[in-house]
């Protein structure tokens, strides 16, 4: 589902209620019927360009829904792999992923957590105009966007912190594509240290991909998602590659008779080139999986161990994190990370400070500066994300190119680490919005960022 970060605004030809797809002749009828049933799960994430009818937030609060609250849970209370990514069951899933999927732990270590001092301010009452020109407060924005946790730091102090929907300060939350930004920074740091050559071919590190789309692709094109690979994300068509990715990784139940890849790395080998490498930005989750493979090959370490040793323990996090893994332990390096809002705030503050935090250097400042400067804004336009005007993409981070030099990690259903250097502000927003893609909510998100930055400056 993380791959569904690619919002429908980038695919305006996809109707909100498409006609039933026809079975390709090459696909057996039994497999097609099972695939169509699985497609119903993916369809729940297809963020429509047209405004969908949304449930009132209070009607889909976990306290009201009562998922998994009886012993044992029965009927409509039960959340399992058959419905975990449907809505509103997704609201439970994002806080309880490791109860459904295998994960690899990311240790916080045994040291005392680094301090997050509090300086509460009444930011919930800050008012700004929404995307329709109507006044809205930060608290109303919180509710309207189905937010589970919101933490705002100013100069390293917690100035606003709020939780809802059974979320607690110690609760992990699935981050979807925010995961990519951790992978991107790992790779950028290794490039800075000379352990990865961004101008080298991917096959220098992963020769297994020689016959795939990455066979003649440079590492830099993977880091910035400018590599050309056929990876379609049509959530109503189980013959597109997004379903192959979901089945191979274990994100979705495999149809009866499935004979395809059973892990992410084997799936990547099947993908072919489509277009010219370096021509433009096109958002593809599979690039993050390849980049994570390169990182592990360059270091000889599992992604989760690198996270723990090089980032999580050095930050002085309060809680362990964890990452979803496939059947052979491959971490989903483009979408599987789960962590608490407060620990993510520490991470964002480390970035704002130039790579050091808690008395530890975690990234070189040159790596943070290179990321924050952004990528090619003209190439970014090829991605079809008009709802991100003026943005670019660098090292798997979204760069706003605004007057404050802001940049962010983002994931479907409303996950963000937003860093605003000029305002000395970090915002972590974890959500379970009914609409997956960013295109539906991002205009309002941009207004909220601006209002919060103005408020903390006062």
Sketch out the chain's domains with CATH numbers: 2-75+86-114+137-457 (3.40.710.10)
pLDDT tens for residues 86-114? 999 999 999 999 999 999 999 999 899 99
Per residue in 236-257, pLDDT (tens digit) is 788 889 899 999 998 888 999 9
Among 232, 230, 227, 226, residue whose Cα is nearest residue 216: 227
Burial class (CB in 10 A: 0-12, 13-18, 19+), 300: exposed
Angle value at C-alpha 451, between 449 and 453, nearest 5 degrees = 70
Give the pLDDT band of residue 415 (cuts 50, 70, 90): very high
Q: Nearest-CA neighbor of 177 among 308, 414, 5?
A: 5
Please report the pLDDT score of residue 338 as a whole number: 98
Can you give the pLDDT at residue 26?
Answer: 41
Angle, CA 335 vertex, CA 332 and CA 336 arms, to 5°: 55
Express each pLDDT in 2-20 by its tens digit: 333 333 333 323 323 333 3
Q: E strands of 138-186, at which residues?
A: 147-154, 157-163, 173-174
Q: How many residues does the chain have?
A: 458
Q: Are 179 and 336 in contact (CB under 8 A)?
A: yes
pLDDT in tens, 139-163: 999 999 999 999 999 999 999 999 9
Give residue-wise pLDDT tens across range 391-411. 999 999 999 999 999 999 999
CB 444 within 8 A of CB 141: yes
Over the stretch 348-380, which tens digit does the pLDDT of each residue have? 999 999 999 999 999 999 999 999 999 999 999
Question: What's the mean pLDDT when you consider all of the chain?
Answer: 90
Q: What is the pLDDT of residue 121?
A: 98
pLDDT digits (tens, 9 = 90+) for 191-222: 999 999 999 999 999 999 999 999 999 999 99
pLDDT in tens, 48-87: 335 679 999 999 999 999 999 999 999 999 999 899 999 9
> Looking at the predicted structure, is the pLDDT value of residue 47 above 90?
no
**Backbone phi, psi, residue 393, to 5°:** -135, 125
The CB density around residue 320, as the number of other CB atoms within 10 Å, is 17
The percentage of the chain sitting over the pLDDT mark of 90, rounded to a whole number, equals: 84
Question: Residue 348: which of 362, 335, 336, 338 has the closest Cα?
Answer: 362
Q: List the catalytic residues.
A: 177
Rounded CA-CA distance 235/44 in Å is 9
Tell me how far apart the alpha carbons of residues 245 and 123 are, in angstroms, rounded to a whole number.
41
Task: Give residue 13's pLDDT.
Answer: 30
Helix, strand or coil, per DSSP, at residue 162: strand
CB 116, CB 342: distance < 8 Å: yes
CA angle at residue 18 from 14 to 24, to 5 degrees?
100
CB of 215 within 8 A of CB of 206? no
The pLDDT of residue 234: 74
Of the pLDDT bands very low, low, confident and very high (cuts 50, 70, 90), residue 23 is very low
What pLDDT does residue 79 have?
A: 98
Rounded CA-CA distance 5/24 in Å is 27
Q: Rounded to an integer, what distance in angstroms lies between the CA atom of residue 48 and that of residue 416?
A: 20
């Amino acid at each position: 589902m993380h791959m569904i970060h690619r919002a429908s605004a980038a695919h305006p030809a996809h109707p909100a209620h498409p006609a039933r797809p026809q079975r390709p002749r090459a696909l057996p009828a039994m497999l097609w019927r099972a695939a169509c049933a699985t497609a119903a799960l993916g369809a729940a994430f297809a963020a429509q360009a047209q405004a969908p009818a949304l449930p009132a937030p209070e009607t889909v609060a976990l306290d009201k829904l009562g998922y998994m609250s009886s012993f044992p849970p029965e009927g409509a209370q039960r959340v399992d792999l058959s419905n975990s990514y449907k809505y509103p069951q997704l609201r439970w899933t994002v806080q309880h992923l490791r109860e459904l999927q295998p994960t690899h732990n990311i240790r916080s270590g045994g040291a005392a957590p680094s301090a997050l001092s509090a300086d509460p301010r009444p930011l919930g009452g800050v008012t700004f105009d929404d995307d329709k020109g109507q006044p809205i407060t930060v608290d109303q924005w919180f509710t309207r966007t189905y937010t589970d946790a919101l933490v705002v730091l100013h100069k390293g102090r917690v100035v606003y912190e709020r939780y809802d929907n059974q979320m607690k300060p110690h609760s992990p939350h699935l981050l979807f594509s925010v995961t990519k930004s951790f992978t991107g920074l790992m790779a950028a740091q290794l490039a800075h240290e000379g352990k990865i050559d961004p101008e080298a071919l991917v096959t220098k590190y992963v020769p297994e991909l020689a016959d795939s789309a990455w066979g003649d692709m440079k590492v830099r094109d993977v880091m910035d998602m400018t590599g050309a690979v056929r990876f379609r994300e049509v959530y109503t068509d189980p013959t597109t590659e997004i379903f192959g990715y979901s089945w191979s990784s274990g994100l979705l139940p495999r149809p009866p008779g499935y004979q395809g890849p059973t892990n992410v790395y084997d799936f990547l080998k099947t993908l072919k080139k489509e277009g010219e490498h370096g021509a433009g930005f096109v958002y593809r989750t599979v690039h993050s999986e390849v980049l994570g493979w390169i990182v592990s090959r360059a270091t000889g370490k599992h992604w989760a161990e690198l996270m723990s040793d090089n980032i999580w323990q050095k930050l002085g996090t309060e809680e362990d994190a964890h990452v979803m893994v496939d059947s052979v332990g491959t971490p989903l390096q483009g979408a599987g990370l789960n962590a608490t809002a407060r620990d993510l705030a520490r991470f964002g503050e480390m970035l704002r400070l130039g790579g050091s935090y808690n008395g530890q250097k975690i990234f070189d400042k040159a790596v943070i500066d290179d990321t924050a400067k952004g990528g090619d804004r003209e190439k970014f336009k090829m991605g079809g994300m008009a709802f991100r005007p003026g943005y670019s993409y660098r090292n798997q981070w979204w760069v706003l190119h605004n007057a404050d030099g802001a940049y962010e990690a983002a994931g479907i259903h409303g996950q963000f680490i937003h860093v605003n250097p000029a305002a000395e502000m970090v915002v972590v927003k974890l959500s379970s919005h009914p609409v997956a893609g960013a295109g539906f909510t991002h205009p309002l998100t941009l207004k909220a960022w601006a209002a919060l930055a103005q408020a903390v400056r006062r």
